[in-house]
């Protein structure tokens, strides 16, 4: 097997179990040196310690970091630990997360805020802690964990879906900002059985959704020739890509604008028609697309 990540330094948050554990082991298997992060909790990080031991038992390099992703100072300490141990940070996998599922009508706002805090601000804190170092070394690979619940919605997960879609927007902008410094940023949308999904899915389905079936999807997102701005979907040994697209749409001439709302009601199917849809390379693409339809080319150029 090729050591695709030989001597790369990786950080995985929430790596004490489930997907995080599988990610840490997969990165180590490909030669990465891994900071295994998890919250201390009631067991003082026993599960994360076991992951470190598993990596070391087969000759890999790993260190434990116990810290809370919602605390910026903990994430900075995690980055500092990686720098002290190995002198660089090549890979960050933002995996830490929680569930607080209820229908929106029954969901306490505190549960909504907590899920956003862990998933979104947790990823922000961890990424902020490594960003300057990745800029300085002109190299970085960052993965955000999104979800089909954010991309497509899922009943009873308004908080989780909002958080996971926020991470897609975070990824899209960081990928643009990091491009000139060779920092590539992607998303992984896993379908896996973890501690968060037990009790949600039936046993026969859980058996097919081992986290180990997802973690190989991480590898192409963090190697040297990784893409950037990709949304990789993975589960049960299957792998797909998701895209945020824009239709060709329609243009309503200025003289018809007084009736634009009524015209849109009549032509909504044309607006939604996916023939020739675009995958914008940045938010500016929407401005360009709309202006080109409504302005003569010479005016647009001036």
Domain boundaries, the chain: 9-242, 254-301
Residues with catalytic function: 160
On whether the pTM is more than 0.85, the answer is yes
Q: What secondary structure does DSSP assign to 244-269, as a single string? A: --B-------GGGGGGHHHHHHHTHH
Cα distance between residue 145 and residue 170, in whole Å: 11
Among 220, 144, 145, smallest CA distance to 190 is for: 145
Among 51, 1, 10, 23, smallest CA distance to 210 is for: 23
Cα distance between residue 251 and residue 136, in whole Å: 45
pLDDT of residue 172: 98
Q: Which residues, given as ranges, of the chain have pLDDT below 50?
A: none
Cα distance between residue 222 and residue 241, in whole Å: 16
* Residue ranges with strand state E in the chain: 9-12, 33-38, 62-66, 91-94, 140-145, 183-191, 231-235, 238-242
When the candidates are 3.40.50.720, 3.40.50.1820, 3.20.20.70, 3.10.129.10, the CATH number that belongs to 9-242 is 3.40.50.720
Neighbours of 109 (CB within 10 A): 8
Among 190, 178, 110, 106, smallest CA distance to 148 is for: 190
pLDDT of residue 254: 77
Cα distance between residue 132 and residue 142, in whole Å: 13
> Residues for the chain: how many in total?
302
pLDDT of residue 1: 79
Rounded to the nearest angstrom, the gap between the alpha carbon of residue 141 and the centroid of all alpha carbons in its chain is: 12
Among 274, 270, 273, smallest CA distance to 252 is for: 270
pLDDT of residue 6: 98
């Amino acid at each position: 097997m090729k050591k695709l990540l030989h001597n790369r330094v990786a950080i995985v948050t929430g790596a004490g179990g489930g997907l995080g554990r599988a990610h840490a082991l997969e990165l180590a298997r490909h030669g990465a040196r891994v900071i295994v992060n998890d919250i201390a909790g009631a067991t003082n990080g026993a599960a994360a310690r076991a992951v470190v031991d598993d990596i070391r038992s087969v000759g890999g390099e790993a260190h434990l970091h116990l810290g809370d992703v919602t605390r910026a100072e903990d994430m900075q300490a995690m980055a500092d630990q990686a720098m002290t141990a190995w002198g660089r940070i090549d890979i960050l996998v933002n995996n830490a997360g929680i569930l607080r599922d209820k229908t929106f009508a029954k969901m306490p706002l505190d549960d909504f805020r907590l899920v956003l805090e862990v998933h979104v601000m947790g990823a922000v804190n961890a990424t902020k802690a490594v960003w300057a170092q990745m800029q300085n070394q002109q190299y970085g690979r960052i993965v955000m964990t999104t979800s089909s619940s954010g991309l497509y919605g899922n009943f009873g997960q308004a908080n989780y879906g909002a958080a996971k879609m926020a991470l897609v927007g975070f990824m899209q902008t960081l990928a643009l900002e990091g491009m000139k410094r060779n920092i590539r940023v992607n998303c992984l949308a896993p379908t896996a059985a973890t501690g968060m999904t037990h009790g949600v899915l039936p046993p026969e389905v859980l058996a097919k959704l081992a986290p180990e079936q997802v973690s190989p999807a991480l590898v192409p997102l963090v190697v040297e020739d990784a893409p950037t701005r990709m949304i990789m979907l993975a589960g049960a040994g299957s792998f797909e890509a998701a895209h945020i697209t824009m239709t060709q749409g329609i243009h309503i001439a200025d003289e018809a604008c007084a009736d634009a709302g009524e015209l849109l009601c009549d032509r909504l199917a044309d607006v939604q028609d996916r023939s020739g849809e675009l995958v914008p390379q940045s938010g500016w693409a929407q401005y360009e697309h709309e202006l080109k339809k409504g302005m003569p080319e010479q005016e647009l150029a001036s």
